Structure 1
């Protein structure tokens, strides 16, 4: 059951990591240094108090990450396959200190229910943020997309330790060396840049088959 769920969509309402959410909302620039971390006094449990703009981190009920319990997944036969069109693009690799990411000039798009989202950037978390049946994976990739109406959607890909990953869009395993390469440049308080899983608050994970 884990394999089909290793690739899934996170609506932006679930909130990504603090800086990604703030940048996506236009609250800060990508080059802004925020006083947050993934541990200690500025860790995820305190994010909601760091700024009024981040208050949803404290009271939100639609946040990610979550633990995907496979025996509670709801099969939705009305869901349609994703239409993905990614292209070769000029890309900038960035070490933010809290994650390693890539920005695209024209990376492509994907379509959900007839709505087009343009790929803006992607970044990695080590280990994964989402769990499946309580299991953390070696890493998690987030591909952040934006629609013309300003809404955002994110595709998440879970990685396990295995063969090295030559093409991120196709292979869902990576070597231990690649995991360590993603971790090495991060600040000491962000070496494990993943948040604790959040309560479901009545939400249901829907599965396309």
Structure 2
């Protein structure tokens, strides 16, 4: 492996949160910091009160599957809960996985990520097990080997599902794309808690607060949502073949995990955890076996050649 590439992977960048500086200056359409903090604090307190009430609260067990460790409907049992979920247990190309330095193959031929995103009508949806941004308009696409995959939705997992050299991060965003044959390609973006909030999530906060703890509830995003704000301009990425990380765990998913780690605020993580149904606060599927799959790593050519 090129020594510069190895140095980059093993160096301080793994532990250093990196995010475009523009996120520190939200535009005028965002809430003021003071109002946002008050709103978040009020929402967290209200949700905590609901969760601590003596009346039963609908939770993960009612959704068909659970993230609760040791639960009969937990991740270790997903494959036996329904016949159509059998792949969760029997599949050999399951996700998430650890992206380990020793397992990587340098693949400069993959090329830069070829995507064209744009602001589109969207709704924020509480699916019980996660919070999703569903694009109701054309949000653009990702091209892989000449095939266009349309961006359909984005959702968050806390903590991250993929790990890098065994390190799990505080959050992971999944950007889910489908082609004309309904085959999937997902971009995963990792986050660590820092002082700078995530700009895209910041815009979604009032809508998440409005649907907190209400499975099936959704709110239309005023002015639409711009995927470019979430994606950033990252160039280094991992690529492998895997699956969806929730039942039915369908395989054949093209995974692209961005190497750069973004930042998210603690209050934003807290909001996402409080908004889902009880038992889904830590909605990350355990790591799956790599099973000798090829994990490619793309670096821009100048970095490899220097």
The normalised TM-score by structure 2 is: 0.57
Gaps of 5+ in 1: 7-32
Q: From the CA coordinates, give the structure whose radius of gyration is larger.
A: 2
User: Secondary structure of the equivalent of 1:182?
Assistant: helix
Name the CA distance, whole Å, in 2 between partners of 1:37 and 1:133. 27
Q: Confirm whether residue 58 of structure 1 aligns to residue 89 of structure 2.
A: yes
Name the CA distance, whole Å, in 1 between partners of 2:155 and 2:198. 15
**In the alignment, what sits opposite 1:164?**
197
Q: Confirm whether residue 78 of structure 1 aligns to residue 98 of structure 2.
A: no
2:63 touches 2:128 (CA, 8 Å); kept in 1?
no
Name the CA distance, whole Å, in 1 between partners of 2:85 and 2:275. 26
Q: CA deviation digits over 1:96-128, x for unaligned, max 9?
A: 110011100211111111110000001000000
Alpha-carbon offset, residue 71 of structure 1: 2.7
Name the CA distance, whole Å, in 1 between partners of 2:156 and 2:80. 25
**In the alignment, what sits opposite 2:247?**
none
Find runs of 4+ consecutive structure 1 residues off by over 4 angstroms: none
User: Secondary structure of the equivalent of 1:153?
Assistant: strand
**In the alignment, what sits opposite 1:125?**
157
User: Secondary structure of the equivalent of 1:36?
Assistant: coil
Name the CA distance, whole Å, in 2 between partners of 1:48 and 1:194. 16
Name the CA distance, whole Å, in 2 between partners of 1:61 and 1:115. 25
**In the alignment, what sits opposite 1:176?**
266
User: Which of 142, 145, 149 is matched with 2:181 structurally?
Assistant: 149
User: Which of 59, 66, 86 is matched with 1:37 structurally?
Assistant: 66
Aligned residues: 182
Name the CA distance, whole Å, in 2 between partners of 1:71 and 1:55. 31
Structure with the larger helix share: 2
Name the CA distance, whole Å, in 2 between partners of 1:198 and 1:204. 14
Q: CA deviation digits over 1:112-153, x for unaligned, max 9?
A: 111100000010000000111111101000111000122111
Name the CA distance, whole Å, in 2 between partners of 1:65 and 1:72. 15
The normalised TM-score by structure 1 is: 0.82
* 1:6-17 equivalences in 2 (<5 Å): none
Structure with the larger strand share: 1
Q: Confirm whether residue 103 of structure 1 aligns to residue 134 of structure 2.
A: yes
**In the alignment, what sits opposite 1:138?**
170
1:80 touches 1:113 (CA, 8 Å); kept in 2?
no
